Structure 1
Amino acid sequence: MKTVIHKADSRGFANHGWLQANHSFSFANFYNPEKSNFGALRVLNDDVIAPKMGFGTHPHDNMEIITIPLKGILKHRDSMHNSWESVLPGEVQVMSAGTGIQHSEINGSEEEHLGLFQIWIMPNQEQVEPRYDQKAFKEADRKNKLQLLVSSMDDESENILKIHQDAKISRIDLDAGVIFNYELKGFQHGVYVMVVYGKVAFSDVVLESRDAIGISETASFSAEAKEDTSLLFIEVPMQF
């Protein structure tokens, strides 16, 4: 088994006043040649956005973009839809940029900060027709069991979101003392695990809130919650 440890304080950090951004991988003004990607996973940003502020209209192409709000109200608008869409904690948003799309993202609250994870995954098909989707997922459905949020277009599972990549994004909330075993899709895949909150052991490695571990070249691995813990799993092909 191969592992890479990314402690929370090793991430790139940018303070723009209205935006507090933590970058797990090279992004914007943060560049680290050892943190350019984890397989097909290109970006994992942990953003906090001030009330009424956000990202003005900007373009993307040939990227699968997944947004997971953690607190507050995300408002999204893009060149496919003129109206603002609200994305709330418990919901997940996906956008296939494909041939090109323009979108805006803002904090829809006048009082509360917006916290979110934004994930970019490199697609296995380029120049596809742009698309947008979002779904709500019940918190109770990830209590000590894996909750699948996002998978590939050819996955026949229902009630999940789909992207143009042989990838999986999942969450689990573990009670203290619970041991969870994660099984990978195949040996050519790896999993990047972000500790959303809590304290968890992967063998002899103990990680805390916003620490992360990349695990590859194995069929499975175990995580033991040392306290109540929430984990985000991003499984991707490693050949990139």
Structure 2
Amino acid sequence: MAHTVFHKADTRGHANHGWLDSHHTFSFASYYNPERMNFGALRVLNDDIVSGGMGFGTHPHDNMEIISIPLEGDLEHQDSMGNVAVIKKGDIQAMSAGTGIYHSEKNKHENERVKFLQIWIYPDRKNVEPRYDQLTLNLQDRHNRLQQILSPSKDDDGIWIYQQAWFHMGKFDAGVSTQYNLKGGANSGVYAFVLNGKININGQELNTRDGFGVWHTDQLNITAESDAEFLLMEVPMKF
């Protein structure tokens, strides 16, 4: 029998630092909820808005897969591997922190805000050589279908990370339905996050910024009840 967890948008942790307005699906920084530490290997899902010209100063990470998905604006990245890049809506960025990296992220523009999702996944191996990757996706490939944007394989669609994880995004018109078949076997679960609109997954209605986790199942039935955009994150539940 399928197991589920439902997180309404307004139950997330919230921190407003002026320059940064952040909602935390799972415990992060000053937000601590022992019932919301992670969903399997999914450790962090932060929904961030960064004011013009502001950003995160240089800070360290290690042994974590860090994924950024920009939703609006241009986010400038620099890191200790020598990478300088700008990511924007339609891009996905991944870093394997491995043995340790330093990086910074800044809103490239003074008069526009940046919105992005910051996602941390526990890796399936430790102390790898740090790596950086980014990819520009074709937004049309998610119109009324699921576009794979991340996988464990360099040879598969989307970006890749050191974990048995698959991410898909969909931008569906009202009334469109699809099925998602889990790829990782009995140990996999899927955490769905609605960017905007209303969808129904296996009978659970989700609205904008709601999150819904499902495991002990092999299939999701998804219907857009309005025009909607959403992210599916399949991850190992034990790792």
Match of 2:126 in 1: 126
Task: Find the counterpart in structure 2 of residue 174 from structure 1.
Answer: 172
Aligned to 1:84: 84
Matched residues in 2 for 1:141 and 1:214: separation?
24
Shift of 1:156: 2.9
Q: CA deviation at 1:203?
A: 3.5
Distance (Å, rounded) in 2 between the aligned partners of 1:65 and 1:32:
21
Q: CA deviation at 1:191?
A: 0.3
Secondary structure (helix, strand or coil) at the match of 1:141 reads helix
- TM-score under structure 2 normalisation? 0.97
1:102-155 deviations in Å (ceiling 9; x for gaps): 0000000111000000100000010000000000001101011111111114x6
- 1:13-40 CA distances to partner (integer Å, 9 max, x unpaired)? 0010000000000000000011000000
* CA deviations over 1:86-111 (Å, ceiling 9, x no partner): 11110000000000000000000111
Consecutive unaligned residues of structure 1, counting only runs of 5 or more, are none
Question: In the alignment, residue 163 of structure 2 is paired with which amino acid?
Answer: Q
Give the percent of matched residue pairs that are identical in Structure 1 and Structure 2: 51
CA RMSD of aligned residues (A): 1.0
4+ runs of 1 displaced by more than 4 Å? none
Q: Secondary structure of the equivalent of 2:186?
A: coil
How far apart, CA to CA, are the structure 2 residues paired with 1:105 and 1:36?
Answer: 24
Matched, 1:8 2:9: yes
> Which SS does the other structure have where 1:56 is aligned?
strand
235 and 203 in structure 1: CA distance in 2 versus 1, 3 angstrom threshold: closer
Match of 1:136 in 2: 136
**One-letter code aligned to 1:21:** S
C-alpha separation in 2, matches of 1:110 and 1:237: 40
Paired position in structure 2 for 1:94:
94
**1:111 match:** 111
Show the 5 A alignment for 1:1-240: 1-81=2-82, 84-153=84-153, 156-158=155-157, 160-185=158-183, 186-240=185-239
Cα displacement (A) at 1:204:
3.1
Q: Secondary structure at the match of 1:111?
A: coil
Letter in 2 for 1:15: N
How far, CA to CA, are the matches of 1:219 and 1:138 in structure 2? Answer: 28
What letter corresponds to residue 21 of structure 2 in structure 1? Q
After TM superposition, give the deviation of residue 170 of structure 1 in Å.
Answer: 1.1
Q: How much does 1:201 deviate?
A: 1.4
Distance 1:203 1:42 in 2: 24
Post-superposition shift, 1:231? Answer: 1.1
SS at match of 1:187: helix
Offset, 1:192: 0.3
Amino acid at match of 1:70: L
Q: Number of paired residues?
A: 237
Residue 209 of structure 2 aligns to a residue in which SS?
A: coil
Unaligned residue ranges in structure 2 (runs of 5+): none
TM-score, normalised to structure 1, is 0.97
User: How far apart in 2 are the matches of 1:156 and 1:89?
Assistant: 23
Secondary structure of 2:155's aligned partner: coil
